[in-house]
A = this chain, B = another copy of it.
Amino acid sequence: MNGVNTANELTFPLPALTVDLVIFTVREEQLQVLLVRRANAPFCDAWALPGGYVDIERDDDLEACARRKLKEKSGVDAPYLEQLKSYGSKGRDPRRWTATVVYFALIASDAIVLGGNQRQVAWHPIVDHGVAQALAFDHAELIADAIARLRAKLEYTHIAVHLLPEVFTLPELQRIYEIVLGAPLEKSSFRRRVSQAEMLEPLPGQRREGDGRPAQLYRFRSYRRQTFFPRSLQRHAR
């Protein structure tokens, strides 16, 4: 009934399994996503998310597979990486029934070391809910979902710090939020949230300049836990 015979051999055809990555960064005042140009059919020459088949020899688990592919494409070792969702259907790859587990990563633009050929691997700016080009497979949908998740999480967590280098100022952090959300934020509200969460550690004495008064430098203190902001249904005390 479960399609497995006594010798533990599968008696039915398997779908293919891939891992795809939606790698975000903020460059040139824009949210951008890393795409690779396909060299083979189907969708040859179209842009697509970096990713590929799970290699059961090399990859111990799904996340290791995602990290391997991330390292191959972006050169980044330990970014923020979060599983987004899985997509699988008969038709999304014309060759065969394929499922993909999508991860999204946030990296600082200064941490990126792209492989040589910009025709093959390049950053593409996000406009609204996707990129300007038509993409291979269902990758436009995957990107739209990833953007929605990223924007939603910005509103109740601190993950945007992962889009900045280790040391940054509060105006820089606020700018990241505004670029990703596509809307200006109230300065004092923003700063209140950040300070109340106690996630940032001021780097004493140091400063940096824009054009007026320099801003205090900070470092993200705690990668251990994500901060979630309150105001939801709370447990009743008594």
Q: Which residues of A contact B (CB under 8 A)?
A: 2-4, 8, 10, 12-17, 40, 52-57, 59-62, 83, 85-91, 95-97, 99, 101, 154-156, 177, 181, 183-186, 189-190, 193, 229-236, 238
Q: In the bound complex, do residue B89 and residue A86 qualify as a contact, i.e. CB atoms below 8 Å apart?
A: no
Once A2-B53, A62-B86, A86-B101 are accepted as A-B contacts, the answer to whether A235 and B181 lie under 8 Å apart by CB is yes
Q: In the bound complex, do residue B233 and residue A231 qualify as a contact, i.e. CB atoms below 8 Å apart?
A: no
A77 nearest CB across to chain B (Å): 21
A83 CB contacts on chain B under 8 angstroms: 85-86
Residue of B with least CB distance to A60: B90
Q: In the bound complex, do residue A14 and residue B16 qualify as a contact, i.e. CB atoms below 8 Å apart?
A: yes
A234 and B155 CA atoms in complex are apart in Å by 7
With beta carbons under 8 angstroms apart, the residue of B14, B86, B183, B229 that contacts A14 is B14
Q: In the bound complex, do residue A12 and residue B53 qualify as a contact, i.e. CB atoms below 8 Å apart?
A: yes
A3 and B156 CA atoms in complex are apart in Å by 41
A31 nearest CB across to chain B (Å): 16
Once A2-B40, A52-B2, A99-B62 are accepted as A-B contacts, the answer to whether A233 and B86 lie under 8 Å apart by CB is no
Total copies of this chain within the assembly: 2
A231 CB contacts on chain B under 8 angstroms: 229-232
Residue of B with least CB distance to A62: B88
With beta carbons under 8 angstroms apart, the residue of B3, B101, B230 that contacts A88 is B101
With beta carbons under 8 angstroms apart, the residue of B62, B89, B230, B236 that contacts A60 is B89
Residue of B with least CB distance to A64: B89
- 17 examples of A-B residue contacts, CB within 8 angstroms: A8-B95, A10-B16, A12-B56, A14-B14, A54-B88, A54-B97, A54-B99, A59-B90, A60-B91, A61-B90, A62-B87, A83-B85, A83-B86, A88-B101, A155-B233, A185-B235, A189-B233
A90 CB contacts on chain B under 8 angstroms: 56, 59-61
Q: In the bound complex, do residue A56 and residue B97 qualify as a contact, i.e. CB atoms below 8 Å apart?
A: yes
A12 CB contacts on chain B under 8 angstroms: 53, 55-57
A2 CB contacts on chain B under 8 angstroms: 40, 52-53
